[in-house]
């Protein structure tokens, strides 16, 4: 049974939605020439499968009212921070992506206005056009009242470590809003060995791809250039906290031996950026040992709760997390106050 009144609010920070019209665009992409294999594997599945899981997820994704609120009540979630589901607009051509990001953001902002105590929303952007993306961050935060920016990892195989995208980081830093780097399936030139064995999705491919993306952002020196920028990564940091020691050792060894032009000296160790520029959510990982490890290594003020609705929707997980052996102070940080701080909730 969910405890109805714990002494914290439960704020879930990686919760997905999809406007119905987005699936019309997706249908055209899937029917077009040579669609992205990861996109075919992921959305091709959810949009056509007759399985109960897929049909349930499709129903939940497009609802921003009664059904979602009912599911939140049933699992004791006080507030969802909602973001456009992966890959969002990043699979679209540039013009469609730029215009549909605005439509999705308007729709999400309207839902937040209908349910201001239950929903918050993140700004979707089209990295395909970094200048328009920067403008949309400003519009989303300043005019629509959204909080945080959702980026569903790579965009047509390109990574934000490329300086051509850094106007996006500049805008996030200037608007004092975090970027949630959410998974996507591995890109075309990486996915085959994952697809061969059915491991390209949330089971493993997501984490490999997104962990790589976050690490590329660190080693490219993004946080030396934008020291106040804050990023959020899910799934217990896509395993990066567990890698901290080896990343620090090998980064320094690689710099010293002058092995790659792309691995240069940074102001700090890779793990310092994890500790100072990243928040880690436990989306998809309702597992106390991993949560405790991340709190111990990055700090309890850096680790926060996410359910990953509707992909992972389970009252049992909330009960297990409520029951974690953890100080009352850290549990409140985990479920409530860290999210209030990073997403500036009122």
Q: Establish if 201 lies at the interface with ligand 1DF (CB under 6 A).
A: yes
Residue 179 to residue 127: CA distance in whole angstroms: 12
CA atoms within 13 A on the CB side of 145: 14
Q: Which is nearer to Mn ion, 211 or 270 (CB)?
A: 211
Provide the token pair at 292. Answer: 């405790």
Work out how close the CB of 260 gets to Mn ion at its nearest, in angstroms, rounded to a whole number: 32
Q: Establish if 122 lies at the interface with ligand 1DF (CB under 6 A).
A: no
Work out how close the CB of 131 gets to Mn ion at its nearest, in angstroms, rounded to a whole number: 27
Q: Establish if 185 lies at the interface with ligand 1DF (CB under 6 A).
A: no
Q: Phi and psi (nearest 5°) for 12?
A: -100, 125
Cα–Cα distances (Å) from 4 to 154, 240, 283, in that order, read 39, 34, 22
Out of 13, 85, 277, 297, the only residue in the binding site for ligand 1DF (CB under 6 A) is 85
Report the residue closest to ligand 1DF, judged by CB: 202
Work out how close the CB of 42 gets to ligand 1DF at its nearest, in angstroms, rounded to a whole number: 6
Binding mask 222-261 for ligand 1DF (x = CB under 6 A): ----------------------------------------
Residue 154 to residue 161: CA distance in whole angstroms: 10
Q: Which is nearer to Mn ion, 37 or 183 (CB)?
A: 183
Q: Establish if 308 lies at the interface with Mn ion (CB under 5 A).
A: yes
Q: Establish if 183 lies at the interface with ligand 1DF (CB under 6 A).
A: yes
Of how many residues is the chain composed?
A: 346
Residue 180 to residue 205: CA distance in whole angstroms: 18
Contact 178, 231 (CB under 8 A): yes
Q: Which is nearer to ligand 1DF, 26 or 223 (CB)?
A: 26
Residue 143 to residue 136: CA distance in whole angstroms: 10
Q: Which is nearer to ligand 1DF, 101 or 202 (CB)?
A: 202
Q: Where are the alpha helices (DSSP H) in the chain?
A: 20-31, 37-48, 52-61, 66-75, 94-114, 130-138, 166-174, 192-195, 205-219, 222-225, 235-238, 240-256, 270-277, 288-298, 315-322, 328-332, 338-342
Contact 334, 11 (CB under 8 A): no
Select from ligand 1DF, Mn ion, none the partner in contact with residue 232, using the beta carbon and a kind-dependent cut-off of 5 to 8 Å: none
Angle between helices 270-277 and 240-256 (to 10 degrees): 140
Residue 159 to residue 289: CA distance in whole angstroms: 31
Subset of residues 1 to 60 that bind Mn ion, contact rule: CB under 5 A: 14
Select from ligand 1DF, Mn ion, none the partner in contact with residue 201, using the beta carbon and a kind-dependent cut-off of 5 to 8 Å: ligand 1DF
Q: Which is nearer to ligand 1DF, 169 or 206 (CB)?
A: 206
Nearest to 63 by CA among 16, 8, 6: 16
Work out how close the CB of 182 gets to ligand 1DF at its nearest, in angstroms, rounded to a whole number: 6
Binding mask 282-311 for ligand 1DF (x = CB under 6 A): -xx-----------------------x--x
Q: Establish if 86 lies at the interface with ligand 1DF (CB under 6 A).
A: yes
Nearest to 43 by CA among 181, 160, 152, 189: 152
Work out how close the CB of 215 gets to ligand 1DF at its nearest, in angstroms, rounded to a whole number: 18
Q: Establish if 105 lies at the interface with ligand 1DF (CB under 6 A).
A: no
Q: Which residues contribute to the site for ligand 1DF (CB under 6 A)? A: 16, 42, 85-86, 183, 201-202, 283-284, 308, 311
Q: Which residues contribute to the site for Mn ion (CB under 5 A)? A: 14, 308
């Amino acid at each position: 049974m969910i405890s109805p009144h714990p002494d914290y609010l439960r704020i879930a920070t990686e919760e997905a939605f999809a406007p119905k019209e987005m699936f019309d665009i997706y249908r055209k992409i899937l029917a077009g020439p040579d669609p992205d294999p990861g996109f075919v594997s992921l959305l091709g599945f959810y949009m056509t499968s007759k399985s109960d899981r897929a049909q349930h997820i499709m129903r939940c994704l497009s609802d921003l009212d009664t059904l979602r609120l009912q599911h939140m009540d049933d699992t004791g979630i006080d507030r969802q921070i909602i973001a456009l589901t992966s890959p969002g607009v990043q699979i679209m051509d540039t013009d469609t992506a730029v215009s549909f990001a605005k439509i999705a953001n308007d729709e999400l902002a309207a839902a937040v206005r209908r349910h201001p105590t239950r929903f918050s929303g993140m700004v979707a952007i089209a990295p395909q056009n970094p200048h328009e993306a920067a403008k949309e961050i400003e519009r989303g935060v300043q005019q629509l009242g959204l909080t945080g920016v959702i980026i569903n990892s790579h965009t047509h195989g390109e990574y934000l470590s490329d300086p051509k995208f850094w106007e996006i980081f500049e805008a996030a830093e200037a608007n004092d809003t975090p970027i949630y780097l959410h998974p996507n399936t591995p890109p075309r030139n990486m996915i085959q060995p994952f697809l061969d064995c059915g491991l390209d999705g949330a089971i493993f491919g997501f984490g490999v791809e997104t962990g790589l993306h976050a690490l590329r952002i660190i080693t490219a020196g993004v946080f030396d250039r934008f020291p106040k920028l804050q990023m959020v990564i899910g799934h217990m940091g896509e395993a990066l906290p567990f890698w901290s020691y080896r990343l620090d050792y090998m980064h320094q060894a690689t710099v010293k031996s002058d092995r790659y032009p792309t691995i240069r000296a940074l102001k700090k160790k890779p793990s310092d950026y994890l500790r100072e520029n990243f928040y880690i959510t436990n989306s998809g990982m309702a597992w106390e040992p991993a949560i405790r490890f991340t709190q111990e290594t990055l700090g309890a003020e850096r680790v926060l709760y996410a359910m990953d609705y509707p992909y992972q929707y389970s009252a049992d997980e909330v009960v297990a997390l409520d029951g974690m052996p953890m100080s009352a102070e850290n549990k409140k940080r985990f479920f409530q106050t860290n999210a209030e701080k990073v997403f500036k909730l009122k």
